[in-house]
Amino acid sequence: MKPAIRQRPLPAGPALDGLHPVLDRIYRSRGLRDSVELSLSLEGLLPSRGLRGLSRAAELLADALTSGRRITLIGDFDADGATSVALGVLALRAMGADSPDYLVPNRFHYGYGLTRPIVDLAARQGAELLVTVDNGISSLEGVDLARELGLQVIVTDHHLPGPAVPAADAIVNPNMAGDEFPSKHLAGVGVIFYVMAGLRQELRRRGWFRDRSVPEPALAGLLDLVALGTVADVVPMDRNNRILVEQGLRRIRAGCCRPALTALLEVAGRDPAEAVAADLAFAAGPRLNAAGRLEDMGVGIECLLAEDPRHAAEHARRLDALNRQRRTIESDMQAQAVADIESRLPTAAGDTGPALCLFARDWHQGVVGILASRLKERFHRPAVVFAPAGNGAIKGSGRSVPGLHLRDVLARVDALHPGLLDRFGGHAAAAGLTLAEKRFGAFRDAFLAVVEELLPPEALQAEILTDGPLDPPDLSLDLAQAIRRGGPWGQAFPEPLFHGTFRVISRRIVGEHHLRLRLRHPDPDGGEVDAIAFGALDRGWDGQGEHVELLYRLGVNQWQGRTRLQLVVENLFAASPQP
């Protein structure tokens, strides 16, 4: 079914100063009201004031440093968790900590978060202060065990807390009740960045750097890691996150970044000197994530920590190989899932119901989140996908559509059916859960019923917001480059998407799955422009007629020393000839 296509409304008010009219329209439709909001300098970064628990966390960390106690960071197995661990380790080293350690639960053996087995392992390895990064807010049992064993625990997280929170010595999470930090959208790596800044301030107050002749570290040098983790975790790109990401990107483009960032981009065929947020989202991030999905995120963290560019490049090549393996697994799982869904539809245009809930015994639990996302995008339905987790359990990952808070759905299922879920957590757009395989059917029925109860019917109609059509003079390389420089774009601050009808002058298949098009604008004064439609053959776009309706982005194509405008096609439909 073709989605409803609607242009973003343009709020009333004066134009922003000194901008191309199209860029002005783009910014104002995303909520910018003043030209000062375009400044992404570090001076605009929100102060830590109001970030509840930060002062206490800084004191505990400073006490551990001054007494020589062993600090162990407990991470998560995604890119946000990996960058959080790496940033914490590097910052602690720079501030004089004695060999800070880290542990990342292997998703296939330990599961997510500060579990009791992870606490046991950390205690056996001599940990005295545990610091969770990008996890911990739901680890009630793990924190209780750590306290029983005499370990102190600092929880740093950004996920939504449940009805109860762990009895940690300090909790830093902008989404805690009563927290007054203005931005609730920090990624886990953003939270630990603020905590390390708080620690530096506390150590400065105690005279630590002066007394030990330890130079105060410039934590801005770690913003490349903050940028990668923030973009990869797809958190809303409010102004504070845009500052963090832009400052990190500037360091990457200038070559003043971790060797890993350069290596991950280069192995993906991206030029670090031209890096934008999309390169982190679609090149560096997936390769880092591949380690946690298929093996152990320790491979990714060691890449991020590598000081020697050659070692970083070796790790990056390993991550690239894992990512290629992940893509193959994902493709097979997606084909199986789509065939299963479509086989149960009464007609080719049949209704899939209010949500999708699937499980197969041969699926890979490290890839279920990606598959849920792909199914959500294809069918515009909330999707939860499960894979075996051993010992009779299955693990699921879900993605939601606008208008449905997925964690709230799982909380209601849990309230209506106590004992059905072993554990769950997440936020509005994504969530994870674990349950017994024998309860899958009962969960599917309960999940579908709650979604049907909570999801407004109009939310099942896919809607795409665009930035409208472009006149022929605006189909220009100058505007494409201005948009590329005008980010960082991301969640809740999306890269501009345009809409229009064109006549196809020529088309040819490239790379087996893609279409390269030569298009003519329907305006009498319109000229011709090149376009690329990635994955066009897989989506059935090669059979469209002479006139096509496009959703597209303005791209910059650099090839053989030439830089040209290129439309990047996001969606394509057959169209009638323009009068």
Ordered DSSP codes for 344-395? T-SSTT----S-EEEE-TT--TTTHHHHHHHHHHHH-S-EEEEEEEETTEEE
For residue 91, the 8-state DSSP code is: H
For residue 73, the 8-state DSSP code is: E
> What is the reported pLDDT for 349?
45
- CA distances to 38, 381, 458, 516 from 404, in Å: 31, 10, 11, 37
**Res 346 pLDDT > 80:** no
> What is the reported pLDDT for 348?
43
Question: What gap in Å lies between CA 88 and CA 198, rounded to an integer?
Answer: 12
Candidates 318, 356, 539, 324; CA nearest to 448 is 356
Query: What are 135's strand-pairing partners?
Result: none
Question: What gap in Å lies between CA 96 and CA 200, rounded to an integer?
Answer: 11
Query: What are 171's strand-pairing partners?
Result: 155
> What is the reported pLDDT for 345?
66
Q: What are phi and psi of 212, to 5 degrees?
A: -105, 0
Is residue 240 within 8 Å of 183, Cβ to Cβ? yes
> What is the reported pLDDT for 532?
94
**363: Cβ–Cβ under 8 A, 6 or more apart, which residues?**
333, 336, 371, 385, 386, 387, 388
pLDDT band at 579, cuts 50/70/90? low
For 489-544, what is each residue's pLDDT tens digit?
A: 999 999 999 999 999 999 889 887 899 999 999 888 778 999 999 988 877 787 77
For 124-158, what is each residue's pLDDT tens digit?
A: 999 999 999 999 999 999 999 999 999 999 999 99
> What is the reported pLDDT for 1?
65
Question: For the residues of 237-271, what is the DSSP string, one character each?
Answer: --HHHHHHHHHHHHHHHTT-S-HHHHHHHHHTT--
> What is the reported pLDDT for 351?
66
pLDDT band at 425, cuts 50/70/90? confident
> How much is the average pLDDT of 87-98?
96
Is residue 111 within 8 Å of 139, Cβ to Cβ? no
What domains can you pick out in the chain, each with its CATH number? 45-320 (3.90.1640.30), 348-462 (3.10.310.30), 467-574 (2.40.50.460)
> What is the reported pLDDT for 385?
97
Residue with tokens 């992940």: 326
For 244-287, what is each residue's pLDDT tens digit?
A: 999 999 999 999 999 999 999 999 999 999 999 999 999 999 99
Q: What share of the chain is helix, strand, coil (3-state, %, to 5)?
A: 45, 20, 35
Is residue 549 within 8 Å of 463, Cβ to Cβ? no
> How much is the average pLDDT of 55-64?
98
Question: What gap in Å lies between CA 433 and CA 119, rounded to an integer?
Answer: 21
pLDDT band at 433, cuts 50/70/90? very high
Tokens of 40: 């992404």
> What is the reported pLDDT for 526?
79
Candidate from 254-263, 423-432, 465-474 with smallest mean pLDDT: 423-432
> How much is the average pLDDT of 299-323?
97
Question: What gap in Å lies between CA 107 and CA 470, rounded to an integer?
Answer: 47
> How much is the average pLDDT of 69-88?
96
For 184-212, what is each residue's pLDDT tens digit?
A: 999 999 999 999 999 999 999 999 999 99
Question: What gap in Å lies between CA 476 and CA 529, rounded to an integer?
Answer: 9
Element spanning 559, H or E: strand 547-559
Is residue 516 within 8 Å of 534, Cβ to Cβ? no
**Res 107 pLDDT > 90:** no
Distance, CA of 4 to chain centre:
26
Q: Can you tell me whether residue 327 is helix, strand or coil?
A: helix
pLDDT band at 52, cuts 50/70/90? very high
**Res 431 pLDDT > 60:** yes
